[in-house]
Structure 1
Amino acid sequence: MSYKVIIIDDEGRTRSMLKKMVSSTNFPLKIVAEADSVQSGIDVINEHNPDIVLLDIQMPDGSGFDLLDRLRHRNFEIIFVTAHQEFAIRAIKFSALDYILKPVEIEELESALENAIDTIQSKSDLSMRYETLLENLKHSNKRVVIRTKGSMYVVDLKDIIHCQSDRNYTYFHLTDGRKIFTSRTMKEYENVLSLPDFIRCHRSHIINFNHIERYERGDGGIIVMKNGSEVPLSRQSKDRFMELLESL
Structure 2
Amino acid sequence: MSKVKPFVAIVDDDESVGRAIKRLLRSIGMQADAFASGEAFLELVSSLPSYRPDCVILDIQMPGLNGLEVQQRLAGSGMPVIFITAYDDIAVREQALAAGAAAYLRKPFNDELFVRTVRSALGLGSPP
TM, length-normalised to structure 2 = 0.78
CA contact (8 A) 1:6 1:53 kept: yes
Same amino acid, percent of matched pairs? 25
Alignment partner, residue 35 of structure 2: 35
Distance 1:75 1:90 in 2: 20
Please list the CA deviations of residues 199-225 of structure 1 after superposition, one character each: whole Å capped at 9, or x if unmatched: xxxxxxxxxxxxxxxxxxxxxxxxxxx
Which portions of structure 1, spanning 4 or more consecutive aligned residues, are displaced by more than 2 angstroms? 44-47, 68-73, 90-97
Larger radius of gyration: 1
Letter in 1 for 2:120: N
Please list the CA deviations of residues 90-143 of structure 1 after superposition, one character each: whole Å capped at 9, or x if unmatched: 233444621221113201211111211217xxxxxxxxxxxxxxxxxxxxxxxx
Distance 1:96 1:15 in 2: 19
- Structure 2 residue 53 is the aligned partner of structure 1 residue 50: yes
How many residues align? The count is 116
Consecutive unaligned residues in structure 2, runs of 5 or more? none
CA contact (8 A) 2:84 2:105 kept: yes
Q: Secondary structure at the match of 2:40?
A: helix
Alignment partner, residue 85 of structure 1: 89
Distance 2:20 2:74 in 1: 26
Q: Secondary structure at the match of 2:116?
A: helix
Distance 1:22 1:74 in 2: 22
CA contact (8 A) 1:82 1:102 kept: yes
Greater strand share, 1 or 2? 1
- Structure 2 residue 77 is the aligned partner of structure 1 residue 74: yes
Deviation at 1:56, TM superposition (A): 0.8
Structure 1 vs Structure 2 CA RMSD: 2.0
Q: Secondary structure at the match of 1:113?
A: helix
Consecutive unaligned residues in structure 1, runs of 5 or more? 120-248
Candidates 103, 111, 114, aligned match of 2:108? 103
Distance 1:51 1:43 in 2: 17
Deviation at 1:34, TM superposition (A): 1.9
Alignment partner, residue 199 of structure 1: none
TM, length-normalised to structure 1 = 0.43
Distance 2:38 2:62 in 1: 7
Deviation at 1:52, TM superposition (A): 0.8
Distance 2:19 2:101 in 1: 27
Could you say which structure has the greater relative contact order, defined with CA pairs below 8 angstroms and 6 or more residues apart? 2
CA contact (8 A) 2:82 2:101 kept: no
